[in-house]
Amino acid sequence: MEVPHNPDVSWSLIARAAAGERGARSVFARGYLPVVRSFLEARWRSTRLAGEVDDAVQEVFIECLRENGVLSSADPERGDLRGLLYGVTRKVAARFEERVRKRHSRDQATGSMLDAVQAREPSLSIVFDREWARTLMRLTGDRMRANAEGGTPGARLRVELLRLRFAEGMPIRAIAAQWEQDPDAVHRAYAKARAEFKSCLREVVAEHAVRSEVDLDREVERVFELLG
Protein backbone atom coordinates (compact mmCIF):
# COMPACT_ATOMS: atom_id res chain seq x y z
CA MET A 1 0.00 0.00 0.00
CA GLU A 2 1.23 3.47 -0.81
CA VAL A 3 1.57 5.95 2.02
CA PRO A 4 0.19 9.44 1.37
CA HIS A 5 3.03 11.83 0.74
CA ASN A 6 3.06 15.36 1.99
CA PRO A 7 4.84 17.32 -0.69
CA ASP A 8 5.51 20.37 1.43
CA VAL A 9 8.39 19.07 3.49
CA SER A 10 11.67 17.23 3.25
CA TRP A 11 12.08 16.52 -0.43
CA SER A 12 10.42 19.62 -1.71
CA LEU A 13 12.53 21.52 0.78
CA ILE A 14 15.57 19.76 -0.58
CA ALA A 15 14.57 20.57 -4.14
CA ARG A 16 14.23 24.22 -3.27
CA ALA A 17 17.45 24.18 -1.30
CA ALA A 18 19.26 22.49 -4.17
CA ALA A 19 17.86 25.11 -6.50
CA GLY A 20 19.58 27.74 -4.41
CA GLU A 21 16.72 29.19 -2.39
CA ARG A 22 18.39 30.78 0.59
CA GLY A 23 15.52 30.30 3.00
CA ALA A 24 15.23 26.62 2.15
CA ARG A 25 18.99 26.21 2.48
CA SER A 26 18.92 27.74 5.88
CA VAL A 27 15.99 25.58 7.01
CA PHE A 28 17.65 22.47 5.63
CA ALA A 29 20.95 23.22 7.25
CA ARG A 30 19.46 24.06 10.61
CA GLY A 31 17.17 21.05 10.53
CA TYR A 32 19.89 18.51 9.96
CA LEU A 33 22.85 20.28 11.53
CA PRO A 34 22.68 18.47 14.89
CA VAL A 35 23.02 15.11 13.16
CA VAL A 36 26.12 16.12 11.27
CA ARG A 37 27.68 17.92 14.20
CA SER A 38 27.13 15.11 16.71
CA PHE A 39 28.61 12.57 14.37
CA LEU A 40 31.72 14.63 13.69
CA GLU A 41 32.18 15.51 17.36
CA ALA A 42 31.95 11.88 18.35
CA ARG A 43 34.28 10.87 15.55
CA TRP A 44 36.94 13.39 16.38
CA ARG A 45 36.67 13.46 20.16
CA SER A 46 40.17 13.62 21.66
CA THR A 47 41.76 14.03 18.28
CA ARG A 48 43.47 17.02 16.80
CA LEU A 49 40.52 17.42 14.50
CA ALA A 50 38.21 18.32 17.38
CA GLY A 51 38.63 21.98 16.58
CA GLU A 52 37.74 21.43 12.92
CA VAL A 53 34.17 20.40 13.56
CA ASP A 54 32.71 23.76 12.64
CA ASP A 55 34.47 23.88 9.34
CA ALA A 56 33.66 20.29 8.55
CA VAL A 57 29.98 20.89 9.30
CA GLN A 58 30.11 23.75 6.90
CA GLU A 59 31.81 21.59 4.29
CA VAL A 60 29.07 18.99 4.59
CA PHE A 61 26.39 21.52 3.87
CA ILE A 62 28.40 23.08 1.08
CA GLU A 63 28.72 19.61 -0.48
CA CYS A 64 24.98 19.21 -0.20
CA LEU A 65 23.89 22.64 -1.31
CA ARG A 66 26.39 23.82 -3.86
CA GLU A 67 25.48 24.01 -7.51
CA ASN A 68 25.30 20.50 -8.92
CA GLY A 69 25.89 19.25 -5.40
CA VAL A 70 24.59 16.11 -3.83
CA LEU A 71 21.10 17.40 -3.23
CA SER A 72 20.59 18.45 -6.81
CA SER A 73 20.85 14.83 -7.85
CA ALA A 74 18.85 13.38 -4.97
CA ASP A 75 15.82 11.39 -6.07
CA PRO A 76 12.67 11.80 -4.01
CA GLU A 77 11.19 8.65 -5.53
CA ARG A 78 13.75 6.38 -4.01
CA GLY A 79 15.53 8.79 -1.78
CA ASP A 80 16.95 7.95 1.57
CA LEU A 81 17.94 11.28 3.00
CA ARG A 82 19.63 9.70 5.98
CA GLY A 83 21.88 7.61 3.77
CA LEU A 84 22.68 10.56 1.60
CA LEU A 85 23.60 12.80 4.50
CA TYR A 86 25.54 10.04 6.19
CA GLY A 87 27.53 9.40 3.03
CA VAL A 88 28.40 13.03 2.56
CA THR A 89 29.29 13.54 6.20
CA ARG A 90 31.64 10.57 6.21
CA LYS A 91 33.14 11.67 2.95
CA VAL A 92 33.90 15.12 4.32
CA ALA A 93 35.22 13.63 7.57
CA ALA A 94 37.51 11.37 5.60
CA ARG A 95 38.74 14.31 3.58
CA PHE A 96 39.68 16.22 6.71
CA GLU A 97 41.38 13.17 8.17
CA GLU A 98 43.32 12.62 5.00
CA ARG A 99 44.52 16.20 5.08
CA VAL A 100 45.77 15.75 8.60
CA ARG A 101 47.45 12.50 7.63
CA LYS A 102 49.18 14.21 4.75
CA ARG A 103 50.21 17.11 6.90
CA HIS A 104 51.61 14.83 9.55
CA SER A 105 52.59 11.84 7.54
CA ARG A 106 55.45 11.03 9.82
CA ASP A 107 53.68 11.76 13.06
CA GLN A 108 52.97 8.32 14.45
CA ALA A 109 50.67 9.63 17.15
CA THR A 110 48.44 11.31 14.62
CA GLY A 111 48.36 8.24 12.46
CA SER A 112 47.32 5.92 15.23
CA MET A 113 44.80 8.44 16.48
CA LEU A 114 43.11 8.60 13.10
CA ASP A 115 43.35 4.85 12.74
CA ALA A 116 41.43 4.69 15.97
CA VAL A 117 38.79 6.85 14.31
CA GLN A 118 38.48 4.27 11.58
CA ALA A 119 38.32 1.48 14.10
CA ARG A 120 35.39 3.16 15.77
CA GLU A 121 33.45 3.56 12.50
CA PRO A 122 30.73 1.03 13.34
CA SER A 123 29.96 2.59 16.70
CA LEU A 124 30.05 6.03 15.12
CA SER A 125 27.24 5.11 12.81
CA ILE A 126 25.15 4.53 15.93
CA VAL A 127 25.87 8.10 16.97
CA PHE A 128 24.67 9.28 13.60
CA ASP A 129 21.57 7.14 13.76
CA ARG A 130 20.73 8.31 17.26
CA GLU A 131 21.07 11.94 16.33
CA TRP A 132 19.07 11.25 13.19
CA ALA A 133 16.31 9.81 15.34
CA ARG A 134 16.44 12.87 17.58
CA THR A 135 16.22 15.11 14.53
CA LEU A 136 13.15 13.27 13.32
CA MET A 137 11.60 13.73 16.76
CA ARG A 138 12.34 17.44 16.67
CA LEU A 139 10.87 17.76 13.19
CA THR A 140 7.82 15.91 14.46
CA GLY A 141 7.52 18.38 17.32
CA ASP A 142 7.82 21.28 14.87
CA ARG A 143 5.13 19.77 12.73
CA MET A 144 2.79 19.26 15.66
CA ARG A 145 3.29 22.84 16.70
CA ALA A 146 2.66 24.06 13.14
CA ASN A 147 -0.45 21.91 12.84
CA ALA A 148 -1.70 23.17 16.16
CA GLU A 149 -1.26 26.80 15.15
CA GLY A 150 -3.70 26.41 12.34
CA GLY A 151 -5.78 23.84 14.15
CA THR A 152 -8.40 23.65 16.85
CA PRO A 153 -8.04 25.18 20.31
CA GLY A 154 -7.85 21.59 21.59
CA ALA A 155 -4.84 20.89 19.42
CA ARG A 156 -3.10 24.02 20.67
CA LEU A 157 -3.89 23.02 24.23
CA ARG A 158 -2.39 19.58 23.68
CA VAL A 159 0.83 21.09 22.35
CA GLU A 160 0.98 23.36 25.37
CA LEU A 161 0.38 20.31 27.53
CA LEU A 162 3.36 18.57 25.98
CA ARG A 163 5.50 21.64 26.44
CA LEU A 164 4.62 21.90 30.11
CA ARG A 165 5.14 18.19 30.56
CA PHE A 166 8.52 17.94 28.86
CA ALA A 167 10.02 21.44 28.76
CA GLU A 168 8.92 22.49 32.22
CA GLY A 169 8.94 18.99 33.64
CA MET A 170 5.49 19.36 35.23
CA PRO A 171 3.55 16.24 36.20
CA ILE A 172 0.10 15.87 34.65
CA ARG A 173 -1.54 16.44 38.01
CA ALA A 174 0.29 19.75 38.44
CA ILE A 175 -0.73 20.82 34.97
CA ALA A 176 -4.32 19.92 35.72
CA ALA A 177 -4.12 22.00 38.88
CA GLN A 178 -2.64 24.94 37.01
CA TRP A 179 -5.37 24.71 34.39
CA GLU A 180 -8.03 24.08 37.01
CA GLN A 181 -9.05 20.98 35.13
CA ASP A 182 -10.02 17.48 36.13
CA PRO A 183 -6.76 15.40 36.08
CA ASP A 184 -8.54 12.59 34.20
CA ALA A 185 -9.45 14.98 31.42
CA VAL A 186 -5.84 16.15 31.20
CA HIS A 187 -4.68 12.53 31.13
CA ARG A 188 -7.04 11.85 28.23
CA ALA A 189 -5.73 14.92 26.42
CA TYR A 190 -2.22 13.66 27.04
CA ALA A 191 -3.08 10.24 25.57
CA LYS A 192 -4.49 11.95 22.50
CA ALA A 193 -1.40 14.13 22.21
CA ARG A 194 0.77 11.01 22.28
CA ALA A 195 -1.29 9.46 19.50
CA GLU A 196 -1.02 12.64 17.45
CA PHE A 197 2.70 12.67 18.00
CA LYS A 198 3.06 9.12 16.77
CA SER A 199 0.94 9.86 13.73
CA CYS A 200 3.03 12.94 12.93
CA LEU A 201 6.19 10.92 13.38
CA ARG A 202 4.95 8.38 10.84
CA GLU A 203 4.44 11.17 8.35
CA VAL A 204 7.89 12.59 9.00
CA VAL A 205 9.55 9.18 8.71
CA ALA A 206 7.65 8.47 5.49
CA GLU A 207 8.81 11.72 3.99
CA HIS A 208 12.41 10.83 4.69
CA ALA A 209 12.43 7.60 2.74
CA VAL A 210 10.04 4.82 3.53
CA ARG A 211 7.16 3.93 1.21
CA SER A 212 5.17 0.86 2.23
CA GLU A 213 3.09 0.64 5.40
CA VAL A 214 4.95 -2.39 6.65
CA ASP A 215 8.31 -0.73 6.14
CA LEU A 216 7.03 2.41 7.73
CA ASP A 217 5.87 0.70 10.91
CA ARG A 218 9.19 -1.08 11.12
CA GLU A 219 11.10 2.16 10.58
CA VAL A 220 9.09 4.06 13.19
CA GLU A 221 9.87 1.34 15.71
CA ARG A 222 13.51 1.49 14.71
CA VAL A 223 13.62 5.25 15.15
CA PHE A 224 12.30 4.87 18.68
CA GLU A 225 14.88 2.18 19.38
CA LEU A 226 17.65 4.38 18.06
CA LEU A 227 16.86 7.05 20.63
CA GLY A 228 18.43 4.60 23.06
Partner 1 sequence: MSEDPIERGLAEAFGGGGVQRPVASVLRALQARANSILGVHLDAQDDDDAQVKVTDEVKALRDPSGRYQILGEIGRGGVGIVYKGRDSDLGRDVAMKVLKDEYADRPDVLARFVEEAQIGGQLQHPGIVPVYELGLHAGERPYFAMKLVKGETLAAQLARRSDPAQDRRRLLGIFEQVCQTMAYAHARRVIHRDLKPTNVMIGAFGEVQVIDWGFAKVMPKGGVADETESLTRASERSVIETVRSAPGSGSNSVAGSVLGTPAYTSPEQANGDVERMDRRSDVFGLGAILCEILTGEAPYREADGDLVRQAAMGALDGALERLRKCGADPALVTLCTECLARARRARPESAAEVAERVSAYLTSVEERAREAELRAAEARYRHRTTLLSTGVGLVVVMLAAGAWIWNADQAETRRAEAMQRVAGAMSTASGARGQAQAAGLDAVRWAAAVSSAEQVVALTDSVDVDANARAEAESLLGRIRSESWDAEAEAQRLERDARMRERLVEVRIPIEDQLRVDGWEERESRRLDAEYASAFTEYLGGESLLEMSIESTLESMRLGDIEVELSTSLDHWFLTRQNLPDSGVLSYRTGTARIRELAMLLDPNEHWRSRLRDLLPDAYGAVAELRRLADEADFESLTPAGCHVLSEALCQAGDKPATVRVLRRAQELHPQDFDLCYGLAMHLELLPEPDWQGALDTYRIAHALKPEHKSALHRQGVALENLGRHADAEQVFRRGLARDPTDSHLMRHVGVALAAQGRSEAAMDFFQRALEAAPGEADSYKMIGAQFLEAGRFDEAIETYYSAIVLAPTLAVHHFNLGTALLEAGENEAAVQSLQRALELDPRYASAHANLGNALSNLNDMDRAAASYERALELGLEDSWIHFNLGNSLRRLGKPRKAAESFERAIECYARALEIQPNHARTHHNLGVTLEAVGRFEDAIESYRNALDADPQLGSSRRRLMRLEGADDLEEVLTGRREAESSDQWDVAVLIGCQAGRWAEVVTLTEETLSRSPELIDSGSSWGAYNPACAAALLAADSSSGTTADERARVRHLALTWLARESERWQVWIAEGGDRAALAGERLAQAASDPDFASVRDDALEELPAAERDAWEELWSEIGRARGEGRR
Q: For partner 1, which residue of 11, 39, 96, 132 counts as binding (CB under 8 A)? A: 96
Q: Does 68 bind partner 1 (CB under 8 A)?
A: yes
Q: For partner 1, which residue of 13, 14, 24, 57 counts as binding (CB under 8 A)? A: 57
Site string for partner 1, 10-49 (x = CB under 8 A): ------------x--xx--xx--xx--xx--x---x--xx
Site string for partner 1, 111-130 (x = CB under 8 A): -------xx-xx--------
What count of other Cβ atoms lies within 10 Å of the Cβ of residue 187? Answer: 14
CA atoms within 13 A of residue 27's CA, in its CB half-sphere: 18
What count of other Cβ atoms lies within 10 Å of the Cβ of residue 90? Answer: 18
Nearer to partner 1, 185 or 195 (CB): 195
Phi and psi of 212, rounded to 5°? -85, 155
Q: Does 108 bind partner 1 (CB under 8 A)?
A: no
Site for partner 1 in 182-221 (CB under 8 A): 194, 197-198, 201
What count of other Cβ atoms lies within 10 Å of the Cβ of residue 38? Answer: 19
Nearer to partner 1, 69 or 183 (CB): 69
Q: Does 2 bind partner 1 (CB under 8 A)?
A: no
Q: Does 95 bind partner 1 (CB under 8 A)?
A: yes
CA 53 to CA 58: how far, in whole Å?
8
Q: Please, which residues bridge with residue 2 across strands?
A: 212
Distances (CA, A) of 173 to 90, 164, 185: 46, 11, 10
In the complex, least distance from residue 7 CB atom to partner 1, rounded to whole angstroms: 18
With CA atoms as reference, report the closest residue to 197 among 130, 150, 149, 145. 145
Nearer to partner 1, 68 or 153 (CB): 68
Site string for partner 1, 141-170 (x = CB under 8 A): x--x--------------x--xx-xxxx--
Phi and psi of 133, rounded to 5°? -60, -40
In the complex, least distance from residue 187 CB atom to partner 1, rounded to whole angstroms: 14
Q: What type of residue sits at position 115?
A: D
